[in-house]
Structure 1
């Protein structure tokens, strides 16, 4: 039977591993986009240009929002990759500090880890919710584009928010 301190350590280990896993996701997405730049470049380019809209979509008012300048499109894509990398690094560092805190019972390490993880989650929300769901989805009408990534963005944000709620909670005693 685990004592109270062991139960708290198990919670910290679980939270640290979860934070590291989420950080690894961000790092893999960003590195995939850097190593194979074209992998998602086509997606970003077509959403911004609004040149692959569903046949039933004919709003000239919304299509006037399109961005066809390649330099601006590249700037958007590079900003996305930088956001993904920042998210991955912050969550990975946060997860590492949370794991270290499990073995040392030092609250300052735990708070540092949770703070870094929280900042990383904020960046992820800015990338996938603000960037993909709000700007891509609504401003550029991605919902009417054959290149529609809204459901994946919502799935990422949902998992990140659930993890953030769990990791942010204070560790509970077994009693």
Structure 2
């Protein structure tokens, strides 16, 4: 295998790992539904805030206590994780079957779409909306650190998968 082929194999493996991760998280959220649903409910309800939190104005205007909305939000998260995982896996498989072929870039693009969806779930969903809008940082059930970890790793993989080949001329890299 040439150097470009090895780099393509590496990118496909990384994409596969992220896809598998997203699918596994979505699956776990279904299998252990009640535990993870309790987390979403606590964040949206803002009912488990740390004693130091004095954001009563935020709680009064932002807390959502409707169980139907909790359930809808939780299913939206699960569906987002599963779709992101499926798209990432589809991109990874596309990369695996086109190593050293011109169509490899198609798998990369598909993976980048899946990675973007995953970043929307963990960064926009958990870090921005959960973390800031619902003040998850002050909630006893705080998932911000994990959300930032997941989003950062997925973003790094997207950059890696999209970057040009190392040690290859531009002519060789486009072949």
Specify if TM > 0.5: yes
Which residue of 5, 9, 21 maps to 2:5? Answer: 9
Number of the residue aligned with 1:170: 164
TM-score computed with the length of structure 2 as normaliser: 0.92
Number of the residue aligned with 2:78: 81
- Once the two structures are TM-superposed, the CA of residue 106 in structure 1 deviates from its matched residue by 2.1
**Is 1:58 the counterpart of 2:54 in the alignment?**
yes
**Is 1:29 the counterpart of 2:15 in the alignment?**
no
Compute the RMSD of aligned alpha carbons: 1.2
Distance (whole Å) between structure 2 residues aligned to residue 170 and residue 130 of structure 1: 28
- Once the two structures are TM-superposed, the CA of residue 116 in structure 1 deviates from its matched residue by 1.0
Number of the residue aligned with 1:70: 67
**Is 1:154 the counterpart of 2:148 in the alignment?**
yes
CA displacement 1:72-91 (0-9 Å, x = unmatched): 01010000001100110011
CA displacement 1:20-76 (0-9 Å, x = unmatched): 011000000001111221131111000000000001112221001100100001010
TM-score computed with the length of structure 1 as normaliser: 0.92
- Once the two structures are TM-superposed, the CA of residue 174 in structure 1 deviates from its matched residue by 4.9
SS in 1 for 2:2: helix
- Once the two structures are TM-superposed, the CA of residue 171 in structure 1 deviates from its matched residue by 2.3
Distance (whole Å) between structure 1 residues aligned to residue 55 and residue 17 of structure 2: 41
Which residue of 102, 109, 122 maps to 1:107? Answer: 102
> Which ranges in structure 1 are unaligned for 5 or more consecutive residues?
none
SS in 2 for 1:123: helix
- Once the two structures are TM-superposed, the CA of residue 170 in structure 1 deviates from its matched residue by 2.4
Say how many residue pairs are matched. 168
**Is 1:142 the counterpart of 2:136 in the alignment?**
yes
Distance (whole Å) between structure 1 residues aligned to residue 78 and residue 131 of structure 2: 18
Structure 1 segments of 4 or more deviating over 3 A? 172-175
SS in 1 for 2:140: coil
